[in-house]
Amino acid sequence: MISKLLLIIYCLAVFVNAAPNQSRICNRDIHIPFTGYKIENQIDLKGFSNNYHLIYCNDNVLIYDLNLNSSIPWAQSLNFTNTVNSGKMNRLALARRKSFALRKVPVFLPNTLVGGLFYEDDKVARISNTDVNISIFQQPLKSIPLVADNLLDYWLEVDVKLDTILHIPVLSTPGIGSRRYNAEFMNYKYDEWSKYISASESYSFDYDSRLWVRKSLDKALKSIGAYSILLPRYLQTKFNNSSEGGDDNGSYILCKLIFISKLIPKFSFSRLLVKVDKILGNS
């Protein structure tokens, strides 16, 4: 109990933007209502459990939240069904550009076009609802861009039991406030932004992808590890225990980056983030 209180006190001191509930998931800007999808990493700081969530918002209101578990299920069919309207099955697929398809850790520079969210149109959806054997990847799909969110727009949720959830934004579909990927851009008839994105991520590589992933992840961890000594010893122990307990050593890079961002100058953190992104993309 004492260790939990110490963690709460430290987090409240570091994360001054704590909130009592999940109201901030969709409501980022009261002046620009957001409608679209978000992917965020939610970390329970009590037990250090790590889950990704696919969220749909409508005018800053949370409509549906799908727990994706401990990793983002790229190039897989997802049943994104609101229980209020459970008779209709909405199938989605998340896919990355080839340049990001081997990236094990979802660390991206803000506003980067990472991939697309693919979905069935209404006519195809009605057919697939009657035949569950039809794969989503065998159907003509529509898509909207998935753009990297700014991970520094994180926030801390604290409930009455003092359980703390760290919310880290990862990806988002563009809202009406997006300067680069706005609605007009997405609907423009000559736009071919998704031409080279495969919904099933069926890309070919001329090298051993497993070796590339392991090498790039090790380099990224080494770069971040140099700053980890700045963290309180309790948090260092938590991260180490998570890794020794079977974690792939990559799931908590986002969490480490958030804590480190509060302990070093903003310019230094920006350089670190660029370095990690470059390592993950060019090793």
* Same-domain check for residues 213 and 91: no
pLDDT the model gives residue 183 = 47
pLDDT the model gives residue 52 = 94
Nearest Cα neighbor of 38 from 101, 99, 114 is: 114
* Same-domain check for residues 82 and 161: yes
pLDDT the model gives residue 206 = 73
pLDDT the model gives residue 224 = 77
Classify residue 201: in a domain, yes or no: no
Classify residue 193: in a domain, yes or no: no
Q: Are strands 155-158 and 18-19 parallel, antiparallel or unpaired?
A: parallel
* Residue that terminates a domain, selected from 154, 187, 220: 187
* Same-domain check for residues 163 and 244: no
Buried b (16+ CB within 10 A) or exposed e, 102-128: bbbbbbbbebbbbbbbbbbeeebbeeb
Classify residue 202: in a domain, yes or no: no
Nearest Cα neighbor of 253 from 208, 202, 218 is: 218
* Same-domain check for residues 224 and 162: no
Classify residue 204: in a domain, yes or no: no
* Same-domain check for residues 97 and 20: yes
End-to-end CA distance of the chain: 43
Please count the other Cβ atoms lying within 10 Å of the Cβ belonging to residue 68: 17
This prediction has a pTM of 0.80
The one-character DSSP state at 262 is: T
Q: What is the pLDDT along the chain (283 residues), one digit of tens a residue?
A: 445 554 544 554 455 454 445 557 887 777 778 888 999 999 888 777 889 999 999 888 888 999 998 889 999 989 887 644 444 557 899 999 988 888 888 889 988 899 999 988 765 555 555 455 567 776 778 888 999 999 888 888 887 677 788 899 999 998 765 655 554 444 544 356 777 899 999 888 776 666 666 667 667 767 777 777 777 776 777 666 665 444 554 567 888 888 888 888 888 888 888 888 887 776 5
* Same-domain check for residues 134 and 237: no
Q: Give the range of the structural domain holding residue 105, as residue numbers without chain letter.
A: 2-187
Classify residue 20: in a domain, yes or no: yes
Q: Would you say 280 and 220 are in contact if contact means Cβ atoms under 8 Å apart?
A: yes
Q: Distance between CA 41 and CA 180 in Å, rounded?
A: 24
* Same-domain check for residues 18 and 135: yes
Classify residue 51: in a domain, yes or no: yes
Helical pair 253-261 and 209-228, crossing angle rounded to 10 deg: 30
* Residue that terminates a domain, selected from 157, 187, 217: 187
Q: Distance between CA 66 and CA 229 in Å, rounded?
A: 35
Classify residue 197: in a domain, yes or no: no
* Same-domain check for residues 171 and 249: no
* Same-domain check for residues 97 and 62: yes
* Same-domain check for residues 40 and 104: yes
* Same-domain check for residues 156 and 82: yes
Tell me the one-letter amino acid at 197: I
pLDDT the model gives residue 249 = 45
* Same-domain check for residues 168 and 259: no
* Residue that terminates a domain, selected from 187, 221, 250: 187
Q: Based on the structure, what is the number of domains in the chain?
A: 2
Classify residue 199: in a domain, yes or no: no
